[in-house]
């Protein structure tokens, strides 16, 4: 069975331009209320485009999410590094929330490799982190459309000598609020305690 190579965080100018100058570090601000994530001066509007959950049901990041806060990550199950690390961090952050905040928060994973990530494949992979996490798939063009709308670049990477391929994708975690906008994103390396802190602040 062919395996993909390492997933690489997208280093293009799109992500750099979108995040440059908007990071509000808790350390830099010196305040318990400051965010570890990046507060966007112009939040992204989440499209109503429908994808499919791991059971085959229609799912829209704007219309189907019913929690006060939804955390979204775009990645793929063959990714050996950033994707499992990020999902494990999200799982740990959820465990650090109190019951009220946890009940108000939903975690959604959107595959960037639908050719290999079928519903059952995504479900099995997510269950290693949390059975409560929602997995989404769909036609690649639709996934790219949704990802682009919320500032996450996605592109099929190079074919590998093994016969597999890697997938280039943005590695930020998105916060979708009750207005169906993305006001905050977290970059790779954000810790579980930092995420838990920011989630609590967003729900306060």
Per-residue pLDDT tens digits for 24-77:
333 333 344 688 999 999 999 999 999 999 999 999 999 998 899 999 999 999
Q: In the CATH scheme, what architecture does the domain 13-203 have?
A: 3-Layer(aba) Sandwich (3.40)
**Rounded to an integer, what distance in angstroms lies between the CA atom of residue 114 and that of residue 120?**
12
Q: Is 167 helix (H, G, I), strand (E, B) or coil?
A: strand
Domain extent listing, the chain: 13-203
Report d(CA 71, CA 176) in Å as an integer: 6
pLDDT at 9: 44
From 41-45, 121-125, 164-168, 186-190, the region with the lowest mean pLDDT: 164-168
Q: Which residues contact 141 (CB under 8 A, 6 or more apart)?
A: none
Predicted TM-score (pTM) of this structure: 0.82
């Amino acid at each position: 069975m062919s395996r993909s190579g390492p997933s690489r965080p997208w280093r293009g100018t799109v992500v750099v331009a979108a995040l440059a100058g908007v990071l509000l570090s808790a350390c830099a601000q010196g305040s318990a209320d400051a965010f570890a994530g990046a507060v966007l001066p112009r939040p992204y509007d989440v499209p109503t485009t429908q994808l499919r959950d791991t059971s085959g049901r229609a799912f829209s990041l704007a219309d189907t999410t019913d929690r006060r806060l939804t955390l979204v990550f775009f990645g793929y199950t063959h990714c050996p590094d950033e994707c499992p690390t990020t999902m494990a961090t999200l799982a740990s952050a959820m465990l650090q929330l109190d019951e009220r905040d946890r009940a108000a928060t939903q975690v959604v994973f959107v595959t960037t490799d639908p050719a290999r990530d079928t519903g059952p494949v995504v479900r099995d992979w997510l269950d290693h982190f949390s059975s409560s996490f929602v997995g989404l798939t769909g036609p690649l063009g639709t996934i790219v459309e949704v990802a682009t709308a919320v500032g996450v670049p996605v592109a099929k990477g190079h074919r590998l000598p093994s016969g597999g391929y890697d997938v280039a994708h943005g590695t930020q975690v998105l916060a979708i609020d009750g207005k169906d906008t993305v006001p905050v994103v977290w970059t790779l390396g954000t810790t579980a305690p930092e995420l838990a802190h920011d989630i609590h602040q967003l729900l306060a």
